[in-house]
Amino acid sequence: MPPMGGRFSATNVPLRLFIRAAWGMPDFRIIGGPPWQLSQRFDISAKLEDGFAGTIAEVYPMLQTLLVDRFKLKTH
């Protein structure tokens, strides 16, 4: 969903789907991770930078930062 009104919102989404979207990679390229990455679901409601009028693709780097910070995600 594209950002609207300066907000990014996602509801009931598994961690693995956030990872796929944020890094733009197919599922088969994601190796490892906790067993709950497909079963546990999360909500994200984030306020974007003031005046942000970009596309969803421009939100992905911010989503990457959030995942690294909150889940201590490591990529190689």
Q: What average pLDDT values come out for the chain (76 residues) when binned by 10 residues?
A: 75 95 93 92 89 83 93 86
Which residues are CB-contacts of 1 (< 8 A; sequence separation ≥ 6)? 9, 10, 56
> Which pLDDT score, from 0 to 100, does residue 53 have?
77
Q: Work out the widest C-alpha separation in the chain, in whole angstroms.
A: 38
User: HSE-up of 18 (CA within 13 Å, CB side)?
Assistant: 27
> Which pLDDT score, from 0 to 100, does residue 4 have?
67
Threshold 0.75, pTM exceeds: yes
> Which pLDDT score, from 0 to 100, does residue 44 have?
92
> Which pLDDT score, from 0 to 100, does residue 57 have?
86
Separation CA 5–CA 56 (nearest Å): 13
> Which pLDDT score, from 0 to 100, does residue 6 have?
79
